[in-house]
Amino acid sequence: MVKENKDFTSFKKWFTYYQKLFGLTGYKVYFKYEPLEESFASITCTTGDMVATIRLNSKLPAKDKPFKDVKRSAKHEAIHLLLMRLENNARYRYSTSGEIYEAVEEIVFKLEDLIN
């Protein structure tokens, strides 16, 4: 039996905690521990199907390791799930994807500091 990475185990625990805290239990969530190019973690979601895939970077560059915070990354991705429907709906309006992304990221970082 392969032992799971402790950061990945902690990440899943914290994400699930925030998922429940935010009342997002209707989503089927899959977790992956795999290399990511530009982030600590990421989320993809199909809101119509209520399915989300949450990824934690398994190959964090050495320069980013001092900034690793598994709990904060899990919270960050859970907040993205919280805002996912808003983000998807906003994409149907007359805003650019870049403008919407920036606005959502701004809210996510503000909520990170407000939510323990």
Q: What is the pLDDT of residues 37-88, one digit of tens each?
A: 989 999 999 988 999 999 999 999 888 888 999 999 999 999 999 998 888 8
pLDDT of residue 32: 97
Rounded mean pLDDT, 87-103: 79
- What length is written for the chain? 116
Asked whether the predicted pLDDT for residue 95 surpasses 80, the reply is no
Instruction: State the amino acid at position 30 in one-letter form.
Output: Y
Cα angle 32, 3, 6; round to 5: 65
Higher pLDDT, 57 or 115: 57
Asked whether the predicted pLDDT for residue 114 surpasses 70, the reply is yes
pLDDT of residue 26: 92
pLDDT of residue 2: 64
Instruction: State the amino acid at position 47 in one-letter form.
Output: T
> CA distances (Å), 58 to each of 29, 35, 101, 115, in order?
18, 5, 25, 26
Question: How does pLDDT run across 10-37, given as a tens digit for each residue?
Answer: 999 999 999 998 888 999 999 999 999 9
What's the burial of 54, exposed, middle or buried (CB within 10 Å: 0-12/13-18/19+)? Answer: buried
Ordered domains of the chain (ranges, CATH):
6-114 (3.30.2010)
The answer to whether 57 and 38 have CB atoms below 8 angstroms apart is no
Closest to 109 measured CA to CA, from 56, 101, 17: 101
> CA distances (Å), 15 to each of 21, 34, 50, 73, 97, in order?
10, 16, 16, 8, 26
